[in-house]
């Protein structure tokens, strides 16, 4: 939320102490460009409820009320950074533009080999198993399976390169002008791509508007009984916010380049709060910070 007057010295000191450095506007992305060097953000006005704002140590963050459009918190929201497995939100979103949840995809040896060769998180899919798109989305979003990402991108590009091109085209359509994808899983191949906290919040909103994806991202566990087409599977969500009031997911991520990332959301009262943290150095702290931001923003809605 931006006021038209400049902060007073006292309020500015309060905002800096709370870690609430606000966003800047980045220049348009070049294809496969690496994130630029961090820059100094211009000072913007703090929310009216800044006095009890949680400390946010992550380098970039953005939290909004998706119901009203109100920005509750913004810190370097337009700074381009790698986002790791938050990339899989776009993979899931694009798949459901092209497929039905009941469609089926056969897992190939290439899907399994691709994921295991890069050291990515996997859903332990088995070559030769045929799974529904919905079950592959659970494999993609809960354990963050790069094998599921490869299988879906290969099937619905058709071909991974074509699928990634559609990811970038979809980003433009969603207004994510500071986002470039180079693969379907967020691993640092080919430079790893980049996005911003603001763009990823916009994507998380779009993901949660799809009933299938809202159901998937909100699931703490998912089990797939064995059938004649596939073996049994059991996946646990890596998002430790699930189980807290109103939590909806959305996605976790980590690479050395990106640090720990988190897209999070919760329905609180009449509001849907959506946020993103990028570049956190501590895995547990990202969940603690997100929970504190959700509580703080929800309290502000009641004011």
Catalytic residues: 85, 88, 144
> Computed over its alpha carbons, how large is the radius of gyration of the chain?
19
Sequence-separated (6 or more) residues with CB below 8 Å from residue 138: 216, 219, 222, 224, 235
For the chain, the maximum distance between any two Cα atoms, rounded to a whole number of angstroms, is: 69
DSSP states of 52-87 as a string? GPPP--SSEEEEEETTT--EEEEESTT--B--GGGH
Alpha carbon 71 to chain centroid distance? 18
Angle at alpha carbon of residue 131, lines to 126 and 134, rounded to 5° = 125
Strands (E), 123-214: 130-132
């Amino acid at each position: 939320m931006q006021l038209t007057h400049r902060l007073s010295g006292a309020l500015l000191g309060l905002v800096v102490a709370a870690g609430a450095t606000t966003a800047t506007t980045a220049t348009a992305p070049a294809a496969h460009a690496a994130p630029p060097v961090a820059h100094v953000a211009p000072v913007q006005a703090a929310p009216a409820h800044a006095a009890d704002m949680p400390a946010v140590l992550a380098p970039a963050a953005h939290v909004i009320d998706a119901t009203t459009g109100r920005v509750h918190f913004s810190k370097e929201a337009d700074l381009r950074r790698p986002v790791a497995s938050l990339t899989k939100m776009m993979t899931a979103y694009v798949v459901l533009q092209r497929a039905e949840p009941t469609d089926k995809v056969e897992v190939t040896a290439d899907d399994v080999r691709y994921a295991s060769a890069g050291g990515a998180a996997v859903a332990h899919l088995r070559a030769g198993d045929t799974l529904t798109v919905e079950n592959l989305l659970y494999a993609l979003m809960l354990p963050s399976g790069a094998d599921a990402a490869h299988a879906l991108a290969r099937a619905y590009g058709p071909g991974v390169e074509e699928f990634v091109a559609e990811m970038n085209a979809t980003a433009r359509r969603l207004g994510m002008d500071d986002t470039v994808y180079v693969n379907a899983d967020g691993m640092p191949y080919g430079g790893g791509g980049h996005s911003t906290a603001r763009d990823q919040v916009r994507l998380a909103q779009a993901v949660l508007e799809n009933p299938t994806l809202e159901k998937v991202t909100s699931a703490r566990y998912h089990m797939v009984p064995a059938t004649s087409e596939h073996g049994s599977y059991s996946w646990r969500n890596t998002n430790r916010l699930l189980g807290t009031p109103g939590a909806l997911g959305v996605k976790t991520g980590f690479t050395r380049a990106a640090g720990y990332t988190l897209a999070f959301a919760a329905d609180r009262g009449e509001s849907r709060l959506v946020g993103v943290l990028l570049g956190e150095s501590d895995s547990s702290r990202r969940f603690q910070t997100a929970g504190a931001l959700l509580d703080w923003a929800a309290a502000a809605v009641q004011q």
